[in-house]
Amino acid sequence: MDKIVLIIDVLYKGKSLDNKAAWKNAQLLTGFFLIIVQLANEFLPEGAKISTIDSHTIANGLTTIGLTFGSYVTVASSEHIGISPKSK
């Protein structure tokens, strides 16, 4: 339960994940990975290619995961942006 609280806690302005450079590198590599996966189908032999519909479904799923991860890391690895704490 503490891990879930920590995942949300770093989204507040003024807080951030430890080892920001590693998280930023993971974010960057996620984008490259998504591009490679998307292009891989184009270079498969004709009999091994994934159908267009399946390819689009997989690409959409991976893109959603990648964009969610990237958005989270952008906020969670910066102390300057994020959710403003509740004022009391």
Q: Specify if 83 maps to a domain.
A: no
Question: What is the total count of domains within the chain?
Answer: 1
Determine the pLDDT at residue 87: 60
Per-residue pLDDT tens, the chain, 88 aa: give them: 777 888 888 899 888 888 989 999 999 998 888 888 878 877 878 777 788 788 888 888 988 998 999 999 999 999 998 888 776 5
Determine the pLDDT at residue 54: 85
Domain that holds residue 28: 2-76
Q: What is the pLDDT of residue 21?
A: 92
Whether residue 68 is contained in a domain is answered as yes
Which pLDDT does position 75 carry in this prediction?
Answer: 92
Residue 86 lies in a domain: no
Which residues on neighbouring strands pair with residue 40, listed in sequence order? Answer: none
